[in-house]
Amino acid sequence: MPKAKSSRANDNDRCPVAAALAVIGDTWTLLAIRDLLRFGPRRFQDLEASLSGISPSTLSARLKRLEEAAVVERRYYEDHPPRAEYVLTDKGKALGPIILAMKRWGEAYEIDA
């Protein structure tokens, strides 16, 4: 008789927190979202400059994942050569209160980076 999966694994599969973390659960992703919330549409170079220490390939991968999850969209503002900027969707803007709560928590408990 096959062994049943543990209920803990099944709980994680259906957990909305785990699902959210799969999309936004790393440092660079949250910081990119923070910058898009603070400054509005940003070009790749702008995000790369504000996220000191991120590699271009890491930023590209994070933005691609956010695009696939419909958190950001790439908007072209020039055709020749093609130039794009990244914009938060309504889904992405809905993360604003979460980022603000994290900011306030960091301030309240004097969290140092």
> Mind listing the pLDDT tens digit for each residue in 24-63?
999 899 999 999 999 999 999 999 999 999 999 999 999 9
> Mind listing the pLDDT tens digit for each residue in 63-82?
999 999 999 999 998 888 88
Task: Give the CATH number of the domain where residue 71 resides.
Answer: 1.10.10.10
> Mind listing the pLDDT tens digit for each residue in 81-103?
889 999 999 999 999 999 999 99
* Assigned domain for 3 exists: no
Whole domain around residue 70: which residue ranges?
8-108
Number of domains in the chain: 1
Neighbours of 73 (CB within 10 A): 16
* Assigned domain for 31 exists: yes
C-beta of residue 26 within 8 angstroms of C-beta of residue 32: no
C-beta of residue 85 within 8 angstroms of C-beta of residue 42: yes
Choose among 24, 49, 43: nearest CA to 85: 43
* Assigned domain for 2 exists: no
Which of 2-6, 54-58, 104-108, 109-113 is predicted most confidently? 54-58
Sheet holding 72-78, edge to edge: 42-43, 83-88, 72-78
